[in-house]
Structure 1
Amino acid sequence: MAGEQMAGRRGRTTVGAVAMMTALLVALGGCAGASGGGPVGTDPIGAAGTPAAGRSAGAATTAVPASSTIPSVLGSADAASPDTRSSGTGSAGTSRTTPSGSAATALAGLAVRGRAPRTGYQRSLFGDGWVDTDHNGCDTRNDILRRDATEVTDKPGTRGCVVASGTLQDRYSGTALPFVRGDGGVQIDHVVALSDAWQKGAQGWSTEQRTAFANDPLNLVATGSAANQQKGDGDAATWLPPYRPGRCAYVARQIAVKATYGAWITPAEHDAMARVLATCPGEPLPSGTDRPPR
């Protein structure tokens, strides 16, 4: 009887010891889970959706740096002036807003600084030639010819897209020019030359922004090839249209383009623009849809 009692006590002692060990192991496992060592394959998320402390550095969320912002260029970043109007689309359908009001007021808002080096400039940095930015099925060159010319005829088989001929009232010479496709007498001018833009801010733009700039109707006019070649990549300090009545509109367009895209002007350029606008202080900023005076 005594032996049976002794054996019973040893059995109860063993069971108690096992129970204590089990409880201890459970407690230790809970502590490990609380310190971040969850089961394999889990991705614990802390408060407010931030990674918990146990997440590996390689899987941490990386902030995406914002692209360089060009004032008034694309979408809702267009804030160059409180008085703005929506005007068309840029490359890949991205919208841009053109400031409105007087050219003299907009000129006062442009940044004035020195010209950056031309180093690295290539035409291809502004996109692959003429593109269809407004998705109407026609490239920008033909859109500008159709906007600026009268008595337009179309090349057969192009679904009314390619301009074959027309008459252009040239903004730079003030004369009527015949346009015949392929004869080289009419060219499309970037009012703010691509090289000029490159030296005054465009080096910091994205490829999409530069492509939009190169195909923006606001920055494009059809003109005679002689005037376009004479101008080259000059700004208002080095070239103005020989047709003096057209100078106010020309300078106003350059100001509108630079205000829209955040490009700056040089001191000499500012002074040349101011001299022109002194003769027409109420000159309005143009849109991309305005046609030459008839």
Structure 2
Amino acid sequence: MALLLCTPGAALAVTGHYVPGVAEVKGSSVPPPGTYYRGYAVRYEINQLSDNNGNAVPGNNTGSVTALANRFIHITDKKFLNADYGFDIIIPILHNSLDFNISGIDSSDGGVGDIFVGPVILGWHGQQWDAVFASGVWFDTGSTSEPTSPGKGYKSTMITLGSTFYPDAAKTWSFSALSRYEINFDDDKGIDRGDSWLVEWGLGKRLDNGIQLGLLGYDGWQLEENTGGDSVPGKREKHALGLEASYFWPNLGFGMSAAYLNEYEVKNGPQGDLFRINMTKVF
């Protein structure tokens, strides 16, 4: 189990690259045509390593991941299948620190992680709903020289599908569900990592003063066990629940959100708490 838990950059994701919990309450709503910068600042505190039954493995196994994912988005004025067409790129910067007694790892490292290029974003907008489809590739650009290096050592294809529903005509209430399916390729140690499926959801309420409050969470499953190389049995699973508050200043073209999520059930992986601040700038 230790080898499964301690691969480079393994702490945050279910499998693959995407960090669960960074999507906001209305994560399935694509913005209107324009150019945007989004910064996802994340702090993940590892409290324990959990086994196949969700119980803590013996010893002191703690750590942290601090990350800033820089995302650049451009939504064009072109239409495809009656949807707004866009594309994006994500450049993550990470610092990992692990102290895992079970595997004898006590080290830290950081740098630029694996870069994501998404050539397809499709956003639909109805009277009381939004929907999104997107696809792209995580490239193995980050270093993998240490157990705490920011790179994962393999590529992943990510497919995104989701929708936001607004029960009231004024759109003060919202419910969003956003799914990510990651197809992982062989890593540089010959391990074929199983695909993963993640659902991030959020229930939000916008107050009269413009502040939006929400309940959110994520549920992720590794669909196939790792094979080849020195892989070990077991599929990872993560479930979390948390709260979010956000506000957007239209005159500045700037918005912020802050959230806290607690992983209340994890199998075959690190378990902990996630703190994040998202920043959005419209150009």
Tell me the TM-score normalised to structure 1 length. 0.22
Between structures 1 and 2, the one with greater helix share: 1
The structure having more radius of gyration, on CA atoms, is 1
Give the TM-score normalised by structure 2: 0.23
